[in-house]
Amino acid sequence: RAYLGDTPAFIVPIYELVSAWELPMYLVLGLFCAAVGVAFTKTLYRFEDLFDSLKFPEYLKAVAGGLILGGTGLFFPQVLGVGYGAIDQALMHQLAWWLMLVLVIVKIFATSITIGSGGSGGIFAPSLVLGAMAGGFFGGVVHDLFPRITATSGAYSIVGMGAVVAATTHGPLTAILILFEMTGDYKIILPLMFACIVGTITSGQLLRDSIYTLKLARRGIDIKEGKEINVLKS
């Protein structure tokens, strides 16, 4: 902070809870984000299996992945790189709701291609992008349907970011605290808690492992087994 300043990572719109009727909508947003998180996890490992099954040298797999990703980026530049610029656009509702839905699908595809083909990348930043787009899409739709009792799509983008991270990692407290740090906005705590908890529980019902632990489970390592875990659980 001494070198870079005490500023949030994202341009955060002014948040307000317009009506108490919005809270159930954030619960539904949590369900939607759980579906996005599970789809992201399953697609990522499907593409890893697909590239592993290809019978040609590893460097050619990376070339193929790069060509596909580059072609995708010509039409949807928002999915390239870390994606923080696209997140800022979603938070400031500068993207159409239908485009944000398309970007959810394309971002899942682009990230899966990158990692599956042997490229370097993580899943945290893509999860934030997916959450911002999913929340922006959901918020745009509900605001069009119920303009008097709902906030603008930017508020739903903030909550969506945390909810998708929680759904993919099965770590709701982590997602909530990280969103506080990155946005510097604590007024959104109740909707964020609702969506993150619902997203985590729902994704856990749909897929036993998180996007991290699934890699271990596929190697036969079950971190949910073991004496220490069971003692703490009981």
52-84 pLDDT, tens digit per residue, is: 888 888 889 999 999 999 999 999 999 998 888
- Angle, alpha carbons 208-211-215 (nearest 5°): 90
Per the CB < 8 A criterion, the answer to whether 13 and 91 are in contact is yes
* pLDDT one-digit tens code per residue, 88-116: 999 888 899 999 999 999 999 999 999 99
Q: Which residues of 169-198 are buried (b: 16+ CB within 10 A; e: fewer)?
A: bbbbeebbebbbebbebeebeebbbbbbbb
pTM as predicted: 0.89
pLDDT at 19: 83
Sign of CA dihedral 134, 140, 146, 148: positive
Three-state SS sequence of 49-61: HHHHHCCCCHHHH
Cα Rg of the chain (Å, integer): 18
* pLDDT one-digit tens code per residue, 165-175: 999 999 999 99
Token pair 């595809």 is found at: 109
Token pair 């039409």 is found at: 75
Q: How far, in Å, CA of 139 to CA of 151, rounded?
A: 8
pLDDT at 175: 92
* pLDDT one-digit tens code per residue, 124-179: 999 999 999 999 999 999 999 988 888 888 889 999 999 999 999 999 999 999 88
- Angle, alpha carbons 41-44-47 (nearest 5°): 150
pLDDT at 127: 94
* pLDDT one-digit tens code per residue, 225-234: 666 666 766 7
Q: What is the mean pLDDT of residues 9-34?
A: 86
- Among 211, 193, 200, smallest CA distance to 121 is for 211
